[in-house]
Amino acid sequence: VYLRDLIIMKASTTTRRSDYFREQYRWLSHGKVFFMLLFLLTDLALNSTLDYDTYNNQIAKNILLGLFGLQVIVQISIFLVLFLATADTFLFRVGLLGVLIRTFRSVLVIHPIYFAFTLATGAYRVRNLSDSAQLTELWESNRFIALSYLQKIVAVPYYVLNIRATIKLEDPIFYNKEAWIALVNEQRRSR
């Protein structure tokens, strides 16, 4: 009787512990979603204002440079949150990176493209506005107009794909060992 009681107590403790960790993980997962959305909204705000605000004096031009740096840091943070979210998955932990990369290929491809357009547009903006050019002169440049429009066009799939990836990473299947083992066994049987 004593041994049976110990087994029951151990099982209930393990269940309570796993429920506790599951609840903690849920909050951690929602935290990643919150930070991803916060960073995406920050990038959206910077993306929609930096090209249109006037920076006429030297202090304002230093603010422009700081905001451009902030936008770069925010985009790096978005990628890091995405990486940390994928690093928590069962697939990442057991080294099935190929499956993970295939699942999130589009968002992984759009990140460097959008980052390159942001760097090109921001560097062109900062360089020209630092040389005492006015905002109207900047918008008269066909090169800047093309860079700015292309960055804004690439921004749409960037935001959509990041939100989709974040929502997809909320799916419990990515954290369920038994589901992936069953899938692998099913694939082996079908060969």
- Whether the Cβ atoms of residue 166 and residue 32 lie closer than 8 Å to each other: yes
pLDDT digits (tens, 9 = 90+) for 135-160: 788 889 999 999 999 999 999 999 99
Using a cut of 0.85, tell me whether the model's pTM lies above it.
Answer: no
Least confident of 24-38, 91-105, 127-141: 24-38
Averaged pLDDT of the chain: 82
Q: According to the model, what pLDDT value does residue 19 have?
A: 52
43: exposed, middle or buried (Cβ count in 10 Å: 0-12, 13-18, 19+): buried
Q: With CA atoms as reference, report the closest residue to 33 among 164, 154, 155, 157.
A: 164
- Which residue's structure tokens are 């705000």? 45
- DSSP sequence for 78-139: HHHHHHHHHHTSHHHHTT-HHHHHHHTHHHHHHHHHHHHHHHHHHHHHHHHHHTT--HHHHH
Q: According to the model, what pLDDT value does residue 61 have?
A: 73
How many angstroms separate the CA atoms of 72 and 66, rounded?
10
Residue 117 has pLDDT above 90, yes or no: yes
Q: According to the model, what pLDDT value does residue 145 have?
A: 93
pLDDT digits (tens, 9 = 90+) for 94-109: 888 888 899 999 999 9
How many angstroms separate the CA atoms of 173 and 90, rounded?
9
